[in-house]
Amino acid sequence: MSSDFILRVDGLTMRFGGVVAVNGLSFAADRRKITALIGPNGAGKTTVFNCITGFYKPTSGQLRLTHDDGRTIQLERLNDFRISKQAKVARTFQNIRLFPGMTALENLMVAQHNALMLASGLTFLGLIGAPSYRAAERQAIDQAKRWLDRIGLLERADDAAGNLAYGDQRRLEIARAMCTEPALLCLDEPAAGLNSRESAGLSELLLSIRDEGTSILLIEHDMSVVMEISDHIVVMDYGVKIAEGAPQAVRDDPKVVAAYLGADEEEAAAVMESNP
């Protein structure tokens, strides 16, 4: 059973001075499935993300990533760019972080940096215009074009990323993360600020990404998206896990309702019983 998990979080704790943001969190994300991390604001979800993606060093705990070929990597020991390069974990950000002064196409080219660096022989082959590099660059452009087409931005490939509409920017950020060919894609509130049509498009995109073999871990507040696409949900509140399971089960869990409503568990159960 353990080999079906792509990511296993064990006893993750993150302390900032006197504040304990995450306290002994443990859960697992299935391979080729979508796992959602939900909870009220301030529950510590983005902190968990930052630990997984190497922006914070966890105070304690283990983050074990298992690749398709069985290789395991302890994420808490990696940091910085290596998470993306070696562990093949990609992420998007709560406040979109595109490269606004670069075109959509350029954004996707930057994502393929490591592959191109290798092909350019650490720049030297590229400098002299070696055919092997030019072929690699053409391939990278093709991959970028495929993704632009997939998210419907092929016509706007040469427009500055900063000029794109909000919904387009969100999708571009996801496409950019996918251009790094990750094994695990971490999305931080990808549906924030999207209207219902755009959210539906996003759900479709994420489902197709999952079906192509990428595992997804996402933080999200939009419950329609969460319920529609998640295979597994983990609920957090005040830094600890309060529930875990299939979407239906979690939705009906009185603890979860109580957390969101800020009410007592018993009250929540009572309310739910009277409104089936």
Residues that bind another protein (CB under 8 A): 16, 46, 50, 53-55, 80-85, 90-91, 93, 97-103, 105-106, 109-111, 113-114, 116-117, 120, 123, 126-127, 141, 145, 154, 157-160, 162-163, 176-177, 180
- The residue among 124 and 261 lying less far from another protein, judged by its C-beta, is 124
- The residue among 71 and 85 lying less far from another protein, judged by its C-beta, is 85
Query: What CA–CA distance (Å, rounded) separates 183 from 269?
Result: 39
At closest approach, how far in Å is the CB of 94 from another protein? 8
- Cα–Cα nearest to 51, from 65, 34, 35: 65
- Helix (H/G/I), strand (E/B), else coil: 27: strand
- The residue among 39 and 182 lying less far from another protein, judged by its C-beta, is 182
Helices (H) and strands (E) in the chain, counts: 12, 10
Count other Cβ atoms within 10 Å, centred on residue 129: 8
- The residue among 154 and 227 lying less far from another protein, judged by its C-beta, is 154
- Cα–Cα nearest to 201, from 228, 183, 163: 228
- The residue among 112 and 203 lying less far from another protein, judged by its C-beta, is 112
At closest approach, how far in Å is the CB of 53 from another protein? 7
Please, what sign has the CA dihedral across residues 110, 208, 229, 181? negative
At closest approach, how far in Å is the CB of 103 from another protein? 5
At closest approach, how far in Å is the CB of 131 from another protein? 15
Count other Cβ atoms within 10 Å, centred on residue 125: 17
At closest approach, how far in Å is the CB of 240 from another protein? 22
AA letter at 226: V
Query: What CA–CA distance (Å, rounded) separates 8 from 156?
Result: 39
Which residues contact residue 121 at a Cβ distance below 8 angstroms, ignoring those fewer than 6 apart? 130, 133
- The residue among 55 and 260 lying less far from another protein, judged by its C-beta, is 55
Question: Could you tell me the CA-to-CA distances from 90 to 53, 177, 206 in Å, in that order?
Answer: 8, 6, 14
At closest approach, how far in Å is the CB of 48 from another protein? 12
